[in-house]
Amino acid sequence: MAHGIDGAAHKAALKYGLKTIAVFAHGLDRVYPAAHANLAQTITANGCLLSDYLSNTTPLPQNFASRNRIVAGLSDATIVVESAAKGGSLITADIANSYNREVFAVPGNPSEKNAKGCNYLINPNKLFCWNQQLIL
């Protein structure tokens, strides 16, 4: 449900008639970010909203890292599209790898801040590589 690729993935799934699951890092009594309230409503009709947090739990930063274990567990594969050198995407990739799930990363311009995490994952000494010919 986060801004960016998370919301885009949910919207694309819904557009093509696919089910989608949004995993919250807070209670189900709120939607965060609030701008995705309509998206959450649409998901409830075509998938589900999921959380292991009680109502009235606020979306604290540490909750997002914790909920990533659920995201990684629900998926057959994790695709990291954009990530800084540290962040939730890399946490999810690491957890997915520990669950023996496939992990893919889209390479980016090495000088871009939000490509550093993906390029780190593509390193042949790390996780899996989307395309061996694109190793930087």
Q: Are residues 94 and 120 in the same domain?
A: yes
Are residues 49 and 86 both part of a single domain? no
Q: Which residue range forms the structural domain that includes residue 13?
A: 1-59
Written as six digits, the tokens of 111 are: 């000088």
Task: Please indicate, yes or no, whether residues 52 and 5 belong to a single structural domain of this protein.
Answer: yes
> 93 pLDDT exceeds 60?
yes
Say if residue 14 is in the same domain as residue 54: yes
Q: Specify the number of domains making up the chain.
A: 2
Give residue 113's pLDDT band: very low, low, confident or very high (50, 70, 90). very high
**Identity at 7, one-letter amino acid code:** G
pLDDT digits over 57-85, tens only? 999 999 998 999 999 999 999 999 989 99
pLDDT digits (tens, 9 = 90+) for 118-130: 999 987 665 544 4
In a domain, 3, yes or no: yes
Write down the pTM of the prediction: 0.82
Both 45 and 9 in one domain: the answer is: yes
Backbone angles phi, psi at 28, to 5 degrees: -80, 0
Q: Please provide the average confidence, as pLDDT, over all residues in the chain.
A: 89
Does one domain contain both 47 and 81?
no
Confidence band (pLDDT; 50, 70, 90) for 131? Answer: very low
- Asked if residue 9 is part of any domain, the answer here is yes
Rounded to whole angstroms, how far apart are CA atoms 15 and 61?
Answer: 30
Residues 8 and 40 in one domain: yes
Answer whether residue 15 is part of any domain: yes
The answer to whether residue 21 is domain-embedded is yes
Verify that 6 and 36 share a domain, yes or no.
yes
CA pseudo-torsion sign 5, 123, 95, 61: negative
pLDDT of residue 110: 87
Query: To which H or E segment does residue 65 belong?
Result: helix 61-74
Residues 46, 81 within the same domain: no
Name the phi and psi angles at 22, rounded to 5: -100, 125
In a domain, 48, yes or no: yes
136 within a domain of the structure (yes/no): no
